[in-house]
C-alpha cells in the first residue's frame, strides 16, 4: 500500500502520437492526457481500461520507451523525462517489462540460458564465471528446472515461457516490473500459477508491479490499487477494495457491471448521440455517460479525492448518489 513516499511519481504525462503528416499541420492522437500516477515501494498497481485507452502507452512511457510530450516522471530524485539516454541507463535497470506474448519477446535463435545471460552481462549482475549458476537459480526461482537453460523458446509452453520472461525481468533486481497483459494469452489454470508467482516475487523481494490488464477479476486478485483509464486519461484511482465496492466514476461502474471489457461498450452505450458543446475541453466520457449534466459537455473534470486515497475525475460522481441517499434516509 502507498503509505510512505512513493517510489515513482508520474505527473501530468501527455503523449501525442503523430498518425499522419500534413502540410498544414500533422494529425495527432492524444494517447496520454494529463496522466498522474504514483507507485509505492512494494505496491502492485493495476491499470485497467478498454482497448486503446492508453494502458500500454503509459507503461512504455514510464519505462522510457516513449518520451512524453509533457509531464514528469520523478524517480530517485531525478526527472527521468529530462535525462539523456545515457544518464537514464542506470535507472532503466530498475524498471523492467513483461509482455503479453512471451514468444515474440525472446530471440528464437538464442537458448533460454543465452537470453538470460544477455541481461546479466548487460548490467554486470554477477561475475562471468557465476552466470551459469545464476541462470540455474533464476529458473528455479520461477519454478523451472535448470535444464530449461538449454532449450529454445519454441520448445516451451506459453506458461513456461512467461516464467522465463519473469526470470529475465527479476534477473537485474528491478525496483518496478511493468507486466502488460502478462497472463491474457495463457490458459486459465496457468494464468493462476503465473499470478501467484508474481505475487510471491512481490512479497519476497518487495518489487513493485504495475499490472496492465483487461481482466477486472485478475486486477482484483492481484492489485493493491487500481487506476482506471479511459481515452488516455485516468478517470479513477484508489485502493482495489474501494474501487470495486464503491466505484465513483460512471465508467468504472459500467465496467464492473459488465465485468468483461469486450462486452462493455454495448451495455454502456447511450442510444441517443450526445454532442458536447465544446468537445475539445469536455469530459471525454460525456457522449457515453448516462449521468451527464450541462457542465460535462463544456469543461473537463479534474481529479479530486472523495475518500482517503480514492480519486475521481467526474462532475457527478456516483458517491454523490450514495450521499444523497444517506441524507434522504436521515
Ligand X SMILES: Nc1ncnc2c1ncn2[C@@H]1O[C@H](COP(=O)(O)OP(=O)(O)OP(=O)(O)O)[C@@H](O)[C@H]1O
Q: Which residues in this chain contact ligand X in the complex, by CB under 6 A?
A: 17, 19, 29, 31, 49, 51-57, 214
Q: Which is nearer to ligand X, 213 or 240 (CB)?
A: 213
Q: Which stretch binds Mg ion (CB under 5 A): 40-48, 51-59, 60-68, 315-323?
A: 51-59
Find where cell 525481468 sits.
Answer: 169
Contact 28, 16 (CB under 8 A): yes
Residues ≥6 apart with Cβ < 8 Å to 251? 228, 230, 235, 236, 268, 285, 288, 289
Class of residue 205 by CB neighbours under 10 A (exposed 0-12, middle 13-18, buried 19+) = middle
**Is residue 284 a contact point for Mg ion (CB under 5 A)?**
no
Q: Which is nearer to Mg ion, 34 or 56 (CB)?
A: 56
Q: Which is nearer to Mg ion, 56 or 240 (CB)?
A: 56
Residue 23's binding partner among ligand X, Mg ion, none (Cβ under 5 to 8 angstroms by kind) is none
Grid cell for residue 184: 491474457
Residue 141's binding partner among ligand X, Mg ion, none (Cβ under 5 to 8 angstroms by kind) is none
Q: Which is nearer to ligand X, 17 or 152 (CB)?
A: 17
Distances 208 to 43, 95, 198, 203, 204 between C-alpha atoms, Å: 5, 10, 10, 9, 11
- Minimum Å gap between C-beta 26 and ligand X is 12
**Is residue 162 a contact point for Mg ion (CB under 5 A)?**
no
- Minimum Å gap between C-beta 53 and ligand X is 4
CA 78 to chain centre: 21
Q: Which is nearer to ligand X, 62 or 95 (CB)?
A: 62
**Is residue 61 a contact point for Mg ion (CB under 5 A)?**
no
Residue 19's binding partner among Mg ion, ligand X, none (Cβ under 5 to 8 angstroms by kind) is ligand X
Length of the chain (residues):
330
Contact 57, 97 (CB under 8 A): no
Q: Which residue in 56, 61, 208, 242 binds Mg ion (CB under 5 A)? A: 56
| CA–CA separation, 289 and 270 (whole Å) | 7
Binding site for Mg ion (CB under 5 A): 56
Amino acid at each position: 500500500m502507498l503509505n510512505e513516499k512513493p517510489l515513482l511519481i508520474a505527473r501530468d504525462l501527455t503523449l501525442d502520437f503523430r498518425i499522419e503528416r500534413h502540410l498544414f499541420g500533422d494529425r495527432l492522437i492524444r494517447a496520454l492526457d494529463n496522466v498522474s500516477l504514483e507507485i509505492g515501494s512494494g505496491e502492485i498497481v493495476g491499470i485497467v481500461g478498454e482497448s486503446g485507452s492508453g494502458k500500454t502507452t503509459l507503461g512504455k512511457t514510464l519505462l522510457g520507451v516513449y518520451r512524453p510530450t509533457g509531464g514528469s516522471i520523478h524517480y530517485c530524485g531525478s526527472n527521468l523525462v529530462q535525462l539523456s539516454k545515457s544518464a537514464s541507463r542506470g535507472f532503466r535497470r530498475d524498471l523492467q517489462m513483461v509482455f503479453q506474448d512471451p514468444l515474440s519477446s525472446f530471440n528464437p535463435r538464442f537458448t533460454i540460458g543465452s537470453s538470460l545471460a544477455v541481461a546479466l552481462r548487460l548490467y554486470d549482475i554477477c561475475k562471468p564465471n557465476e552466470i551459469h549458476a545464476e541462470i540455474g537459480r533464476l529458473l528455479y526461482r520461477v519454478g523451472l528446472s535448470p535444464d530449461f537453460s538449454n532449450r529454445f523458446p519454441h520448445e516451451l509452453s506459453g506458461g513456461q515461457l512467461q516464467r522465463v520472461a519473469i526470470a529475465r525481468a527479476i534477473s537485474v533486481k528491478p525496483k518496478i516490473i511493468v507486466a502488460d497483459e502478462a497472463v491474457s494469452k495463457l490458459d486459465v489454470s496457468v494464468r493462476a500459477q503465473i499470478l501467484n508467482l508474481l505475487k510471491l516475487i512481490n512479497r519476497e523481494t518487495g518489487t513493485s508491479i504495475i499490472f496492465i490488464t483487461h481482466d477486472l477479476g485478475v486486477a482484483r486478485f492481484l492489485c493493491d490499487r487500481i487506476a482506471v483509464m479511459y481515452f488516455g486519461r485516468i478517470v479513477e484511482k484508489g485502493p482495489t477494495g474501494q474501487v470495486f465496492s464503491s466505484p465513483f466514476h460512471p465508467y468504472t461502474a459500467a465496467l464492473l457491471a459488465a465485468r468483461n471489457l469486450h462486452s462493455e461498450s454495448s451495455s454502456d452505450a447511450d442510444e441517443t448521440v450526445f454532442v458536447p458543446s465544446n468537445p475539445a475541453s469536455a469530459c471525454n466520457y460525456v457522449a457515453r455517460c448516462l449521468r451527464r449534466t450541462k457542465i460535462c459537455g463544456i469543461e473537463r473534470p479534474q481529479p479530486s479525492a472523495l475518500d482517503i486515497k480514492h480519486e475521481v475525475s467526474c462532475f457527478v460522481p456516483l458517491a454523490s448518489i450514495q450521499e444523497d441517499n444517506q441524507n434522504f434516509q436521515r
